Chain A
């Protein structure tokens, strides 16, 4: 059962703000999604190995060769704020 507390917790992990008024609505929707996914448990998968990737491809490597990085102009073109060659974000450390 998805409680309002669970919704709040998931929202905090995802850095989402959710109004208290919306908690029970989201809880209900999440509950429906989980029930839908739970239908899969009805299948007998005892002889199926766990899937770790949907493509049947393995061992895709790149060699240890240096490629060009972005220029400073490119690197900061999408930054909301920057300062002195750094991306600038709200204070997170003391």
Chain B
């Protein structure tokens, strides 16, 4: 047995929910981390401490509490910048999540820059949040939305990108750094390099990558980057949009209101500095502060150790799962090019039935289309089951999963 890259035993103690039982006394085996992760005490306590001791609106008043809350809120921005190697912290905009981040880009930069006949390129393995906003924009502007296809191994076909770029009409290429269904890690640096050469802007959806591997935005060299706190131990309702400063300076505001203005007169308004121009209204202060504790937690373990832990676990799971009767596993075989997300199906068994049967053993996996119906069509399935891992999952969790999957094979005589 390989030794684990991190101490799951100690980590699990920090997560109260992992101590609870479900379905008549079965310990919870939580394997739906690609959807959202559980929260450690450190995050829960940071939010509670904020409300108990520091609660006040940010960026407005001068009294002690207001100063404390503003400082804690702004410190998170600094922390994120360090965590992802971002040079200018004013490029970090707090939003509700990845979905809002992408919509913000579509509504502001997109509306200003996309014209009739232009092409926006996305991929076949995108989450709906990286498809629908672009469909809306393309419809409004008379632009075209095109897809980089995937091969049978679940990898992007970069030749498709090249042929779109050759048309000279592409304005934006938008793609996820890691697929939430197949776990494929995109060849992001290569895609961005080719786009740069063609003078095309790039948006990277980091919802699945930032929680699970080291991401260096400076090195990545994209133009827009989006991710969500709740998929990396943080609270729901917080996410980040990063935009390269030269672009951010040219973007019109998204929402109008308080905090985003410098001066408001009856018929004219001037905008606040970056990033506040894009953070209208009272922000989600408590959860931003909770997010700060989540980043501390991950940084203390180290993103390289987290990645190694998930490689070990995924390798173990793939080996064991492939021996279950009647199972089909989707996606990349090379463990170094995939994250800890495993999508699978059983012969003629609907994923919903699989999820119900294994739920009786306390095992939580997702069944459905995973907000990726374009990919489901490509795979020619209506839905899949998906198990996804995080820092607190163990080989014992995988063993329990396998045992419950064997029950499915037995019940259906596969």
Genuine A/B complex: no
A contact residues vs B (CB 8 Å cutoff): none
B contact residues vs A (CB 8 Å cutoff): none
